[in-house]
Amino acid sequence: MATQKVKDAQELPGALYWKGRWSNGPTAVEDLALALKTPLTDYGIGGAKSGNGNYYAWMEQYRDTGIFGQISDHLKAAKTHKADPNSLYFIFISANDFFEWADFSHPESIDVLSQNSVANIQRAAETLIAAGAKHMMVVGTTDLSHVPAVVQGNQVKSATEYQQILEQKLPNVLTTLAKTHHVSISYFDHLAFSDKLRAAPDVAGFKDLDTPCQATYPAVKPVCKNPDAHYYWDEWHPTRKVHTLAAEAMLETLKASR
């Protein structure tokens, strides 16, 4: 879209990132697929929201990149327009709902925002189930309260409230869905995962849990010397090391749910 000179379009994430990922290496779902020895079909788009649309509003001229649009694209691309009952469907969405709300001063309350995120994730799962999906992994919210940009923007209180409501409501919604439709839904508690890392950072080789390795805002600064010792790559996204560790924990969650 940037080459087509669409208004406000940018080439994202840019040269400071690895092969179009918002990190310095492969993401957790890529590492998980590798560990499962299964091919990955990835519809994820940076900035995607849990319903329709994207944090970057200019993308909406191109197509719906939100989770609903991603599922629609997948089902349209499938030969039978159905979900594959033998595939594992991976849903990891919600952070951009909060970022958009916080950065653009949306009027709804945190309670309404979080309830909408839960409802959207529920609808996404229901759509896949109705299309024939039998196996799913849904990842809970990341720990937004420690994200450098959130801390810098004095948004920690709101972030904490948002993630607490998601953590309280989403697992129960998914459990009910799984029982009602007789499908397998594995829930990955990302907050518990990050809490464990933060409680004993040295075990995983982390030396800095709060400062971005590659500062990008308000100005780009030189990259740190040891990215794998940092939790955050930039002011919003984790390093490849965190993605790798998350994938390992996700694999254990899948094994435990069998």
pLDDT-derived band at 1 (thresholds 50, 70, 90) equals very low
**Structural domains of the chain in order of their starting residue, each with its CATH number:** 28-256 (3.40.50.1110)
Is 9 a residue whose pLDDT tops 90?
no
Please give the model's pTM, rounded to 2 decimal places. 0.94
CA nearest 51: which of 34, 29, 79, 72? 72
Angstrom distance (rounded) from CA 81 to CA 132: 10
pLDDT at 42: 96
CA angle 232, 88, 165 (to 5 degrees): 55
Is 11 a residue whose pLDDT tops 80?
no
pLDDT tens digit sequence for 96-153: 999 999 999 899 999 999 999 999 999 999 999 999 999 999 999 999 999 999 999 9
